[in-house]
Amino acid sequence: MKRLLTLALIISCGTFAACGKKADHAASIPAPTPAAPAGGQEKPAAPPAEPSEDDAERAKKQAAMDYATMEDTYLNDPRAQWASTAKASSTFGDTGGATPSEGNVATNVIGAVDEKSWTNNNQDVGFDRLQVGFAKPVSATEVRIVFPSGAGAEAVSKLELADEKGSWTTVWSGLSTQKRDSRGGRTWYVQKFDKTAFKANAVQITIANNVQRGYKVVDAVQLVGE
């Protein structure tokens, strides 16, 4: 009888030890990751909240402030000068030898932004060219053209600079990436290029009329350089 009790105790202890090992082993196994929804798609995130009227108004004012800051930088750039002479290949109203209105002639481009402008005479035919001169020859790095309401900024296709001997060099040609700037009342077409080895005193702007249909209007032109 005593032997039977001893044997029973031994078996009982072995059973408890095995159970303890199984419990420890089970505790060390990480919990399974929940299965993804059927089809492998997660629940879509909630759409962003629509901006309030106050947010939209503030964004509009910030855009106007950014435009004013940009324009002020251009207007007061000490390295920039305004055109002092101007002539164009066509002027609105000059068809058949007629005399165009003074409100459209190329000489309106002379000087700083003043809401006086040149308007060409072609909406979607051929090319027009606006040639402007500057008082101080400079090693140029940039040309800026002011288009009231953006009419023509997308149609600029070539920029040429003349040296003091009248020899022309193309500094840029291609398809304009400038779009109408809705933040302010004017669109500034800005084209930078490598500093010229010669002193430039004139710019010729070529406009591809069919790229942006409609009459092209230019208020002012800047040449930037030293």
Question: Which residue stretches of the chain have pLDDT < 50?
Answer: 1-2, 4-23, 25-27
H or E element: which one contains 217? strand 217-218
Contact 161, 196 (CB under 8 A): yes
- What's the token pair of residue 27? 């505790």
Quote the CA–CA distance of 193 and 93 in Å, as a whole number.
35
Please give the CATH architecture assigned to the domain spanning 82-94+101-225.
Sandwich (2.60)
- What's the token pair of residue 91? 């002027």
Q: Look at residue 8 in the predicted model and tell me its pLDDT.
A: 45
Quote the CA–CA distance of 118 and 106 in Å, as a whole number.
5
Q: Look at residue 4 in the predicted model and tell me its pLDDT.
A: 45
- pTM of the shown model: 0.77
Q: Look at residue 7 in the predicted model and tell me its pLDDT.
A: 47
Q: Which residues of 15-40 are buried (b: 16+ CB within 10 A; e: fewer)?
A: eeeeeeeeeeeeeeeeeeeeeeeeee
Quote the CA–CA distance of 160 and 223 in Å, as a whole number.
12
Q: Look at residue 34 in the predicted model and tell me its pLDDT.
A: 54
Q: Look at residue 22 in the predicted model and tell me its pLDDT.
A: 46
Q: Look at residue 194 in the predicted model and tell me its pLDDT.
A: 98
Q: Look at residue 33 in the predicted model and tell me its pLDDT.
A: 56
Computed from CA positions of residues 9, 14, 17, 19, in that sequence, does the dihedral angle turn out positive or negative? negative
- What's the token pair of residue 212? 């942006």
Alpha helices in the chain, H assignment, sequence order: 2-28, 53-75
Q: Look at residue 31 in the predicted model and tell me its pLDDT.
A: 57
Q: Look at residue 14 in the predicted model and tell me its pLDDT.
A: 45
Q: Look at residue 32 in the predicted model and tell me its pLDDT.
A: 58
Q: Look at residue 54 in the predicted model and tell me its pLDDT.
A: 87
Contact 136, 192 (CB under 8 A): no
